[in-house]
Amino acid sequence: MSKYTSISGDPSLKDDAKATDPFGDDELIQSDIPTTNQNTKSNNNKTTNNIDEHLFEEQDISDIPQASSINPDILNSSEFSPKKQYDGSMFSLNYYRQFFDLETREFFSNCIHALNPFVKLSDEEINSVGDLYGAIWITGTVVFLLFFCNSLADVIVEWMKDKGNKSGVNYFALIISSINLLYGYIFIIPLCLYLILRFYFKVNLLISLVRIISVYGYSNLLWIPAALLSVVRGVLAKHKALDNILKWVCIGIGSILSGLNICLKLYFYFVKAFEGYASANQVNNQFYDKLPVILVCVLVFCHMGFSLGIRVSFFGDLN
């Protein structure tokens, strides 16, 4: 009995065996077995190579970071959460929704930047649309605090003096005048500045009108300490000199801090805008080097007038 398994079922091998085996035994068929084994090994090698290539492709795919493994802070950034696009003309309400599409972290980040006057406007901020949310709500908060704190100070003054003496202050007229003053300032001055930059100087790096309004609006945060400090003057009812000094201190704090924030941020922008304009148009650089200082001086005078308006509106005349 041969030690090899009979493969007589294969017709081709059976015929070959009859041709080469004179004894009719299947020993000579052993010479065909290695060929079959080699074919099997070759097929196994191909299968192994295919598996290795498949595993290599799977390894490459696994190297790609999945959404679940990405830092949530990165996913929440503006790069991964772009602003929505709102259709409509400027005469439709839907157009103005983009100016109020603001996340909480963006709002607080803008507030922190406003508290530091020396933080420059980045290129991204200059080229972005800006928001009206902070400008409107912060200004409204300042109006309320100035009205409330000064009204409370007047109540304390009346209580410490003769109770029969009424100051006769028209609080309704006070709050209306303060609304007109503060909101008029953060909209009218930026509008005039924007028109000058766009149509008179025609700068290439043009900041948006809403961004300028945003700078003015967020700067009103620095009036909050002055508003809170004005309550103290209620206890100085019997000291007119100290009361008058405290009024000017409150106005000075709010005016200097907010004005410094506005002027420095816009000054750095003016320098960048006019340098780019002078180099692009090949004009006299000396003249355009002075323009940022001139514009800032104009803004300073406007802010001084605004501060005096606050002084008269909430504290009476300048005496």
Q: What is the pLDDT of residue 128?
A: 86
Q: What is the pLDDT of residue 19?
A: 46
Distance CA 84, CA 224 (A): 33
Domain range list for the chain: 9-46, 105-315
- Which residues 6+ apart lie within 8 Å of 142 measured at CB? 182, 220, 221, 223, 224, 227
Residue scoring higher pLDDT (2 or 219): 219
Is the per-residue pLDDT at 58 higher than 80? no
Start-end of H helices in 161-239 = 171-195, 209-219, 224-229
Calculate what percentage of the chain has a pLDDT beyond 70: 65
Q: What is the pLDDT of residue 78?
A: 42
Is the per-residue pLDDT at 145 higher than 80? yes
Q: What is the pLDDT of residue 218?
A: 94
Give the model confidence (pLDDT) of 233-267 as tens digits.
777 767 778 888 888 888 899 999 999 999 999 99
Is the per-residue pLDDT at 131 higher than 50? yes
Q: What is the pLDDT of residue 26?
A: 46
Is the per-residue pLDDT at 127 higher than 90? no
Distance CA 23, CA 15 (A): 14
Q: What is the mean pLDDT of the chain?
A: 75
Residue scoring higher pLDDT (213 or 169): 213
pLDDT-derived band at 83, boundaries 50, 70, 90: low
Is the per-residue pLDDT at 126 higher than 70? yes
Winning range, highest mean pLDDT, from 30-34, 57-61, 313-317:
313-317
Distance CA 216, CA 259 (A): 9
Q: What is the pLDDT of residue 136?
A: 94
Is the per-residue pLDDT at 82 higher than 90? no
Is the per-residue pLDDT at 32 higher than 50? no
Q: Which whole number is the average pLDDT over 65-86?
A: 47
Q: What is the pLDDT of residue 135?
A: 93
Start-end of H helices in the chain = 11-20, 33-62, 72-75, 104-115, 123-127, 133-160, 171-195, 209-219, 224-229, 240-281, 285-315
